Structure 1
Amino acid sequence: MINTTSKRKIEHLKLCAESHVEARNVSAGFEDVTLIHRALPELNMDELDLSVEFLGKRLQAPFLIASITGGHPDTVPVNAALAAAAEELGVGIGVGSQRAAIDDPVQEASFRVVRDEAPHAFVYGNVGAAQIREYGVEGVEKLIEMIDADAIAIHLNFLQEAIQPEGDRDASGCLDMIAEICPLLDVPVIVKETGAGISREDALLLQKAGVSAIDVGGAGGTSWAGVEVYRAREREDSLSEHLGELFWDFGIPTVASIIESRVSLPTIATGGVRTGLDIAKSIALGASAASSALPFVGPALEGKTAVAGVLSRMLAEFRAAMFLCGCGSIRDLHNAPVVITGWTLEYLTQRGFNVKDYAVPQDIV
Structure 2
Amino acid sequence: MVEGDIPLKVKDEGTKARKHEHIRICLEEEVESHVGSGFDEVILVHDSLPDLDLSEVDASYEFLGRSVKAPLVIEPITGGVEDALEINRRLAEAAEEHGVILSVGSQRAALEDPGLEDTYRVARDAAPNTVILANIGCAQLLQGDPLEAAERAVDMVEADGLTVHLNPLQEAVQPEGETSMKGIYGELGRLARELKVPLIVKETGAGISAETAIRLERQGVRFIDVSGVGGTSWAGVEYYRALSVGDSPRARLGEVFWDWGIPTIVSLLEVLEFTSMKAIASGGVRSGIDLAKAVALGAEAAGAALPFLKAAVKSRETVSGLIDGMIRELKLAMFLTGSRNIRELRCKPLIILGRTGEWLSLRGLDPGKYARRGLS
Q: Name which of 321, 326, 334 aligns with 1:309.
A: 321
Q: Name which of 297, 302, 310 aligns with 1:290.
A: 302
Correspondence 1:323-342 to 2 at 5 A:
323-342=335-354
Show the counterpart of 2:124. 115
SS of the residue aligned with 1:231? Answer: helix
Q: Name which of 179, 183, 187 aligns with 1:173.
A: 183
TM-score relative to the length of structure 2: 0.95
Q: Name which of 340, 343, 350 aligns with 2:362.
A: 350
Q: Does 1:319 align with 2:331?
A: yes
Question: 2 CA distance for matches of 1:47 and 1:359?
Answer: 26
Show the counterpart of 2:268. 258
Q: Does 1:124 align with 2:133?
A: yes
Deviation (angstroms), 1:2 = 5.6
Q: Does 1:210 align with 2:214?
A: no
Q: Name which of 34, 51, 56 aligns with 1:47.
A: 56
Structure 1 contact 161–169 (Cα < 8 Å) conserved:
yes
Structure 1 contact 22–221 (Cα < 8 Å) conserved:
yes
Q: Name which of 14, 28, 32 aligns with 2:41.
A: 32
SS of the residue aligned with 2:117? Answer: helix
Structure 1 contact 188–211 (Cα < 8 Å) conserved:
no
Question: 2 CA distance for matches of 1:298 and 1:76?
Answer: 15
Question: 2 CA distance for matches of 1:206 and 1:326?
Answer: 36
- Larger mean CA deviation between 207-216 and 270-279 belongs to 207-216
Q: Name which of 288, 292, 295 aligns with 1:276.
A: 288
Give unpaired runs (5+ residues) of structure 1.
none
Q: Name which of 75, 84, 88 aligns with 2:93.
A: 84
SS of the residue aligned with 1:73? Answer: coil
Question: 1 CA distance for matches of 2:66 and 2:291?
Answer: 19
Structure 1 contact 3–104 (Cα < 8 Å) conserved:
no
Q: Does 1:225 align with 2:231?
A: no
Show the counterpart of 2:114. 105
Show the counterpart of 1:158. 168
Which residue identity does 2:33 align to in structure 1? A
Show the counterpart of 1:64. 73
TM-score relative to the length of structure 1: 0.97
Detail structure 1 runs of 4+ shifted over 4 Å in the superposition.
Answer: none
Q: Does 1:137 align with 2:112?
A: no
SS of the residue aligned with 1:269? Answer: strand
Identity of aligned residues (%): 47
Question: 2 CA distance for matches of 1:77 and 1:160?
Answer: 26
Question: 2 CA distance for matches of 1:303 and 1:108?
Answer: 22
Deviation (angstroms), 1:332 = 0.6
Structure 1 contact 27–220 (Cα < 8 Å) conserved:
yes
Give the RMSD, CA atoms, in angstroms: 1.1
Question: 1 CA distance for matches of 2:66 and 2:368?
Answer: 33
Question: 2 CA distance for matches of 1:179 and 1:142?
Answer: 18
Deviation (angstroms), 1:115 = 0.5
Question: 2 CA distance for matches of 1:130 and 1:305?
Answer: 35
Question: 2 CA distance for matches of 1:55 and 1:265?
Answer: 13
- Larger mean CA deviation between 131-140 and 274-283 belongs to 131-140
Change (3 A) 1:188 1:113: same
Show the counterpart of 2:201. 191
| TM-superposition CA deviations, 1:200-248 (whole Å, max 9, x none) | 1111112221123100000011000000011001111111100000000
Deviation (angstroms), 1:3 = 2.8
Question: 2 CA distance for matches of 1:314 and 1:348?
Answer: 28
| TM-superposition CA deviations, 1:276-295 (whole Å, max 9, x none) | 00000101111110000011
SS of the residue aligned with 2:165? Answer: strand
SS of the residue aligned with 1:251? Answer: coil
- Larger mean CA deviation between 153-162 and 1-10 belongs to 1-10
SS of the residue aligned with 2:313? Answer: helix
Q: Does 1:16 align with 2:23?
A: no
Deviation (angstroms), 1:330 = 0.4
SS of the residue aligned with 1:339? Answer: strand
| TM-superposition CA deviations, 1:274-333 (whole Å, max 9, x none) | 000000010111111000001111110112111001111111111110000000110111
SS of the residue aligned with 2:105? Answer: coil
Question: 2 CA distance for matches of 1:85 and 1:209?
Answer: 36
Show the counterpart of 2:258. 248
Which residue identity does 1:67 align to in structure 2? P
Which residue identity does 2:116 align to in structure 1? Q
Q: Does 1:234 align with 2:244?
A: yes
SS of the residue aligned with 2:83? Answer: helix
